[in-house]
Amino acid sequence: MKLSQFKFNLPESLLASEPSEHRDESRLMVLHRDTGKIEHKIFKDVLDYFDDQDVMILNNTKVFPARMYGNKEKTGATIEVFLLRELNKELRLWDVLVDPARKIRVGNKLYFGDDDLLVAEVVDNTTSRGRTIRFLFDGTDEEFRRNIEILGETPLPKYIKRKATPEDKFRYQTIYAKNEGAVAAPTAGLHFSRELMKRLELKGINFAEVTLHVGLGTFRTVEVEDLTKHKMDSEQFIITDQAAKVVNKGIDEKRRVCAVGTTSMRAIESSVSADKHLKAANDWTSKFIYPPYDFSIANSMITNFHTPESTLLVMIAAFGGYENVMNAYEVAVKEKYRFYSYGDAMLII
């Protein structure tokens, strides 16, 4: 398939810059894969589509405050430093993006916080905006992490044109987030409230937690018309024996097995055994799912509404069927569903 087949007109007013008042009261579109039928619900109605012993696969990655602002030595110029991932814990080496990049060269020092709480030195160039930096910090890892918490901001996507608030720290994080390492939230999970989780549990739904640390590559623009030529960035994922056991029991008993979010789907599709069951793994994936694609593990999924020509929309079309999904998106625009990270949700069954 070609990238241009995933174009649609998305008014800017539909990009959600604030979360809904209550997590589980955002809107929910239900898309039936077999008929293309669409239903309009609110998110907590998701309860009605699952039964005792069905399985939901959740991505329990935790977003860390990855966006920091430092001052360049001598000039004092403000530089945005976006922490991508830690390369070496002992040496405190990090992969980062810097903005404006043209001002930042190897050897430059950056000072963070009013009293220079952290200082970093640029040790390498990786891409046009990418750098490797080393934090010059002698304290414990715990103290270092605390300083990152103090200095860092919630890494809201760039399309949200406002400053991150204390509320974002809580709302741009799933309630079941555990394993720190993501620079973007697995947004389909943002709709789950504690109350809804409890109600699903009481109904007999089994939860399987996997981890995929979401990187910025998920949102990288696709720059090739031929989708087979697009390369995804690698992201680390972990599937425990326990999670695999819960999911495989659901598969064997022909239950509804639901991937909550594209990141959960990428993780499980990156670790499939020969007999189409889920395998435990601790690995990296650069899997790009596009139509036609034969899904092995989940037979339903929950996802947000994604932007035109994004890898996320392409994956959804592979799962829900190209015509079904593009028609659903047309309806979503007409019905003014909210798009992207803080937007509304879709259940595909």
| pLDDT 10s digits, 139-190 | 898 999 999 999 999 999 888 989 899 899 999 999 999 999 999 999 999 9
Does the global pTM surpass 0.75? yes
Q: Which residues contact 264 (CB under 8 A, 6 or more apart)?
A: 57, 58, 59, 186, 188, 210, 212, 298
| Local structure of 218: helix, strand or coil | helix
CATH architecture observed for domain 3-63+169-348: 3-Layer(aba) Sandwich (3.40)
Q: Which residues contact 287 (CB under 8 A, 6 or more apart)?
A: 232, 266, 269, 270
Q: Tell me the residue length of the chain.
A: 349
Instruction: Please report which confidence band the pLDDT of residue 264 belongs to, taking 50, 70 and 90 as the band edges.
Output: very high
Query: Does domain 67-153 fall into CATH 2.40.50.100?
Result: no
Per-residue confidence (pLDDT) for residue 322, from 0 to 100: 97
Structure tokens at 321: 């069927």
Per-residue confidence (pLDDT) for residue 216, from 0 to 100: 77
| pLDDT 10s digits, 178-233 | 999 999 999 999 999 999 999 999 999 999 999 999 987 777 789 999 999 999 98
- Pairwise CA distance, residues 68 & 41, whole Å: 39
| pLDDT 10s digits, 41-61 | 999 999 999 999 999 999 999
Per-residue confidence (pLDDT) for residue 114, from 0 to 100: 84
Per-residue confidence (pLDDT) for residue 267, from 0 to 100: 98
Q: Where in the chain is the domain with CATH 3.40.1780.10?
A: 3-63+169-348
Q: Where in the chain is the domain with CATH 2.40.10.240?
A: 67-153
- Pairwise CA distance, residues 227 & 206, whole Å: 35
- Does residue 128 have a pLDDT over 80? no
User: Does the N-terminal peptide bond of residue 166 adopt cis geometry, omega within 30 degrees of 0?
Assistant: no
Rounded to 5, what percent of the chain is helix, strand, coil? 30, 30, 40
- Pairwise CA distance, residues 275 & 273, whole Å: 5
- Does residue 103 have a pLDDT over 90? no
- Does residue 290 have a pLDDT over 90? yes
Per-residue confidence (pLDDT) for residue 126, from 0 to 100: 85
Structure tokens at 298: 């989940």
Per-residue confidence (pLDDT) for residue 221, from 0 to 100: 83
Per-residue confidence (pLDDT) for residue 28, from 0 to 100: 98
Per-residue confidence (pLDDT) for residue 26, from 0 to 100: 97
Per-residue confidence (pLDDT) for residue 47, from 0 to 100: 97
